[in-house]
Structure 1
Amino acid sequence: MTKYNFTDVPERIKTNAIKWQKVKQDSEIIPLWIADMDFHVFPAMTEALEEFAKISVFGYDAPKDSLYQAIQDWERTQHQVAVNKEDIVLIEGVVPAISVAIKAFTDKGDAVLINTPVYPPFARSVTLAERLLVTNSLVDNDGHFEIDFDQLEKDLVDNAVKLYIFCSPHNPGGRVWTREEMVKVAELCRKHGVYLVSDEIHQDLALFGNKHHSLLAVSLDYQDFALVLASATKTFNLAGTKNSFALIPNPKLRKAFMDAQLANNQHEVSTLGFLATETALRYGKDWLDELKTVLETNINLLTETLIAQTDIKVMKPEGTYLVWLDFSEYGIDHNELGRILQEDVKLILNDGVTFGKEGEYHFRLNVATPISLLEKALKRLVKAFPKR
């Protein structure tokens, strides 16, 4: 028996949710794109925010010691990461933290490497900071992304890369990297003097028995050149509250990061972010456990349906609630695929090209939605893209 509500579709149009904007123009559209969930938060979260609202003062606030303790406790119990309070740097989001890290550890013109396809703000953050963007393509091995470590080392050396932004678990492919893969990534960075930023915002969403291996849990030796970025926002559907944290045990790296953060005036965090993060990490574990079961059910339904009834190739994720779909078997121009999906099928998915050149003929689908909406969307996909 389920304890929480994962079946009702929240009324998000009234909230002006970005994800649901186009539904205002066409009520038939099903939005399965931007990475937030169409699920209600757990009741204790709503209660905490309502109690805060009763104070009727919304001025500047400072993070409580209990927030830092909640982060420490969560990282230790869930990811075997031991950090002290001073190792934690609060910042409004992981993407801003990536920009801060770029400015802290590189200079204009320096090379920064990312694996593609990957979450679009990675590339955008590098280019807007006037750094040299180096892309290393992931290898699609029968629906399973892998890293070509020989090519990765060549790319690091040939371009004199100063910073590597790594996505773990991976978005959009859903890979939950193994400990051995994390070690290989870190050892290459140590060997060639490369700073390593591990974006672990999806750390809590490892599925189907897979285990997330935080970079800081793999080896204490990596603290001299590496840091981890994480947040409760993706895990608990709190993106609008704006809070994340950088885990930086090395004092020298932490000072450089915080200096760049202050220079960008990114040292202030939303009071609601403080409250939502602490509430999630203290009281959200049961909700998260149930959520992961729902996500696995939705992913299995999508995978089985599309494989059996279409020629769409599904990269079944090991984690996250995002699924990478390959429409290349249909021989349709990429832009025309996008038009068909939105105008004919009336689904909004993320355009794969925005994740890198490898995303041609691909689109990313978000399964964190009530199963009634997902079933409706799958029927439309089967009808528009039948198995030939």
Structure 2
Amino acid sequence: MSSATEPFDAVDVIRTKRDGHPLEDAQIDWVIDAYTRGAVAEEQMSALAMAVLLRGMTRPEVARWTGAMIASGERMDFSGLSRPTADKHSTGGVGDKVTLPLAPLVASFGVAVPQLSGRGLGHTGGTLDKLEAIPGWRAALSNSELMDQLEDVGAVICAAGAGLAPADKKLYALRDVTGTVESVPLIASSIMSKKIAEGTGALVLDVKVGSGAFMKDLGAARELARTMVDLGTDAGVRTVALLTDMAVPLGRTAGNALEVRESAEVLDGGGPADVVDLTVALAVEMLAAAGRDVPEPEVRAALADGRAKDVWRRMITAQGGDPDAPLPRARERLDVVADRSGVVTRLDAYAVGVAAWRLGAGRSRRDEPVQAGAGVELHAKPGDEVRAGEPVLTLHTDTPERFDRARAALDGAWAVGDRAPEGAGALVLDRIG
């Protein structure tokens, strides 16, 4: 790359941020565009990402960086639909299957949900991996298929097209292997560039906090939430964030088919209370952001009376899936039992996520296949009584040689004591927006 053909030099941009100065708008526009087309090398973008991680960004810088990533690709437009749109994004947690019941629940009230989702990497599961456990279901839809399904069914959960924020796709993979994932400006711009390019009218962010979440600390999670709400608001998207607890896994399962089965229970009016409560809380926020104020009891009723389940069946069928087909089950199981009677006092979400990943539910490389039936089933959570010899967890996998490493992940991650822990904290910790 020579200065004769490019208006900036990548090394100058890196030095500017390395030395703690804000980047100019033109520098940001250029570096994102040049990186996307290959004129800025991977090692140069790695250095710039590290400088951003260490030095941070101002609000105008983050907004411009996000805008440049949006401009790297196409933008979707849902204005032709007959109903308003709302979307949800979770920063990822263990057992977080909320998207599955949430999208049809919101759609049952006349709001379209274009849920463009991703695959899992590491200890948090991917929504697309979960749904691919359903026989026949496909993640890839053309833009016209997406639009038709939104108009007809009202809900879509599918893979984001390659044309949306291609700069983010490239930078996301780079951050993953260069130790620069944890930067709030880079996380916020990554999430929001895709969501704004997606074209939704309203967005509710579920920012997880705790051991099983990306953000372990409430202050850092609040900073991330505020940054993303500001980016969405500035871009004309009605945006709100809920900070939610992820110290303990959500629900009773972590793993692909296991979580689909639990989601179906929620849509049948049952399922674990924490999954139901969070699904309802997010649905109320999405409906309000889309201009539909629906009282919480009425939202709950749509789970209990089958309205949301009807939309789920139509959504799965529209994408080639059979909602009545039996879900895959792992060939091997192993119970982890209590060594004494008492009450479960602790169960670490991160450890459960790592165990599920090691059992085959997740991947360590982007192209690695996942096992549909692998994962962890939770028979007891903090506050539940157990008897000596009874299973606290059941591990599921097709490859039993994985059991030892999964058990190792759980060593010291749970405990049984004489008395219940202090009252469980609130599931929703804060609301921003």
Length-normalised TM-score, structure 1: 0.31
Query: Which structure exhibits the higher relative contact order, with contacts defined as CA atoms closer than 8 Å and separated by 6 or more residues?
Result: 1
Rg: which structure is higher? 2
